[in-house]
Amino acid sequence: MLSLHPAKKLSFNRSISNGDLVIVYERHDIMKAVTVCEGSVLQNRFGVFKHSDWIGKPFGSKVFSCKGGFVYLLAPTPELWTLVLNHRTQILYIADISFVIMYLEIVPGCVVLESGTGSGSLTSSLARAVAPSGHVYTFDFHEQRAASARADFERTGLSSLVTVQVRDIQGEGFPDDLTGMADSVFLDLPQPWLAIPAAAKVLRHDGTLCSFSPCIEQVQRTCETLRTRFTGSFVFFFFLPLLYILIFIIYVLFLSL
Ligand SMILES: C[S@@+](CC[C@H](N)C(=O)[O-])C[C@H]1O[C@@H](n2cnc3c(N)ncnc32)[C@H](O)[C@@H]1O
């Protein structure tokens, strides 16, 4: 997804190699992540596609099956990964992710702490935003989710930018060795107010915090806790025309010590 090896730096001209992750694009709502393996085939309604035919072709190529059907082979990006990843939890999507990264002022070199990791949708974009010299520490108390996220980051080539740890952030807070290290903290937790004191401890002076909650009661409690330690609050309401109206509220606050 984001190779940091100097010989394989991100390039739209890079050719597909054996072992690469590609996004097989049928149409905007049918895509699949596939690891290229010489000798393997992909079978779908358009026919059988030999992986060996893909090797050496540039990312973005249109490739054909034995019976003349076609798909496109796209280079994996965090935007595409969010659309193809295995959903182990609710996830953040591109509209919210871009907003969060912008308002948290995340740039290359930043250290970002996140909890919970969930399906790693936001984490992938955080990793690209902090690359090549920053780092994302992401925490989830669910062991299997943390293990799956770790495996995903290996697969997408982001593992050198992300550390996944199993930890109950609401109960234990963030690890002591990260005290004062974080440029930003992002919380997507059921009781985020319990993690606010821990977030204040790990943030640098003028660090930013975003808490993402679907319920107004969660937001109210989080705000009450935030007011004791933070200044400069923004509240953003998102009205999503889903089956029912869901309100997402994001608070971005600046730690004031
Ligand atoms: C909605 S998901 C996060 C989704 C993630 N933002 C994404 O975009 O993929 C919430 C996650 O928080 C984790 N979680 C809940 N309580 C937690 C706690 N006390 N400490 C750490 N993780 C927790 C859950 O296991 C779950 O994986």
**Rounded Cα distance, 152 and 87, in Å:** 12
The pLDDT value given to residue 195: 96
CB 83 within 8 A of CB 24: no
**Rounded Cα distance, 72 and 61, in Å:** 6
Q: Which residues pair with 230 in a beta bridge?
A: 255
Architecture of domain 79-255: 3-Layer(aba) Sandwich (3.40)
Architecture of domain 6-76: Roll (3.10)
Q: Which of 85, 188, 211 to mutate to test the pocket of ligand 1 (most atoms within 8 A of CB)?
A: 188
pLDDT(84) > 80? yes
CA angle 117, 123, 128 (to 5 degrees): 165
Regarding the beta carbon of 114 and ligand 1, being less than 6 Å apart is answered: no
pLDDT(179) > 70? yes
**Rounded Cα distance, 76 and 33, in Å:** 8
**Rounded Cα distance, 256 and 9, in Å:** 39
Residues 6+ apart with CB under 8 A from 63: 49, 53, 54, 57, 70, 71, 72, 73
pLDDT category of residue 62 using cuts at 50, 70 and 90: very high
Token look-up 């600046």 returns: 254
Regarding the beta carbon of 91 and ligand 1, being less than 6 Å apart is answered: yes
% residues pLDDT > 70 (the chain): 85
> What secondary structure does DSSP assign to 110-159, as a single string?
-EEEEE--TTSHHHHHHHHHHTTT-EEEEEES-HHHHHHHHHHHHHHT-T
Q: Which of 81, 117, 210 to mutate to test the pocket of ligand 1 (most atoms within 8 A of CB)?
A: 117
| Better pLDDT: 99 or 41 | 41
pLDDT category of residue 240 using cuts at 50, 70 and 90: very low
The predicted model scores a pTM of 0.90
The pLDDT value given to residue 242: 38
pLDDT(59) > 70? yes
* Domain ranges within the chain, ordered by starting residue: 6-76, 79-255
Q: What is the pLDDT of residues 156-165, one digit of tens each?
A: 999 999 999 9
Buried/exposed code over 21-50 (b: 16+ C-beta within 10 A; e: otherwise): bbbbbeeeeebebbebeeeeebeeebbebe
Is 79-255 the same fold as 6-76?
no
Q: Based on C-alpha coordinates, what's the Rg of the chain?
A: 20
- Mean pLDDT value of segment 24-37: 95
% residues pLDDT > 90 (the chain): 74
